Amino acid sequence: MTEKIESIAILGGTGDLGGGLARQWSRAGYQILIGSRTLAKGEAAAGALLEEFPDLNVTGYENLEAATRADLVVLTVPFSHQLSTLETVQKGLSGKILIDVTVPLVPPKVGTVQLPEQGSAAMMAQTMLGPDVQVVSAFQNVGASHLQEDHKIECDVLVTGNKRAARQTVIDLVKAVGLKGWHAGPLANAAAAEAMTSILITINRHHGIDGAGIIITGEPKAD
């Protein structure tokens, strides 16, 4: 049984990926709380979205308040700010699902796979937050520019996490933005999706593609 989600906090919602997810989920009927390091930046990001799309249900907050108020939290900050951001909001995450979209990109060689010692950024988050938070990894392989446009996105989403019900909750949210999500196993498998991002960056550069993605072939059997 999946959790009933009505509100989503996006920490790092001032960026391209976070802003794109905010737009798509708000249009799908969810209340969106954009979090930033300061209230002013959160409100400015929400205001910019509302100026472009006045029909959205978007409000800006400081990160901790956004995480505390929301039913589910999404982390969309750069790898260098991942753990420091989680440290500031940890008490607002207890008992919730955290969707971590972090990719361990290490400039200047972002096209080279450089996974951390813990195996993946998602595993780093789960280790830090402990069992009171269900970390689910997703959305690493979706080009942020696609989420800011109104066209069919040719990309599937690998969803990893240690609890099947939590993964299914996230897969439902993936579907809400018009994408197909796949159960991709426990959180340890997030390493594959995170590594794939560097490969896609290299493909984009070499072949001149704007936001290459992945597609899983085959049709799943009905449950």
Q: How far is CA 19 from CA 3, 4, 121, 124, 219, in A?
A: 24, 23, 21, 24, 31
Q: Are 96 and 161 a contacting pair, CB within 8 Å? A: no
pLDDT of residue 1: 46
**Which of 7-11, 22-26, 52-56, 91-95 has the least mean pLDDT?**
52-56
pLDDT band at residue 42 under the 50/70/90 scheme: very high
Q: What's the rounded Cα separation, in Å, for the pair 81 and 84?
A: 5
Q: What is the pLDDT averaged over residues 127-154?
A: 86
Q: How confident is the prediction for the chain on average, in pLDDT?
A: 92
**pLDDT number for residue 147:** 74
217 CA to centre of own chain? 23
DSSP lists the bridge partners of residue 123 as: none
On the question of pLDDT at 88 being above 50, the answer is: yes
Selected residue with higher pLDDT from 13 and 105: 105
The whole-number pLDDT of residue 223 equals 62
Q: Name the superfamily (CATH) of residues 7-207.
A: NAD(P)-binding Rossmann-like Domain (3.40.50.720)
Return the pLDDT at 56: 85
Q: Is the pLDDT of residue 216 over 80?
A: yes
Instruction: Select from 107, 138, 134 the least CA-distant residue to 214.
Output: 138
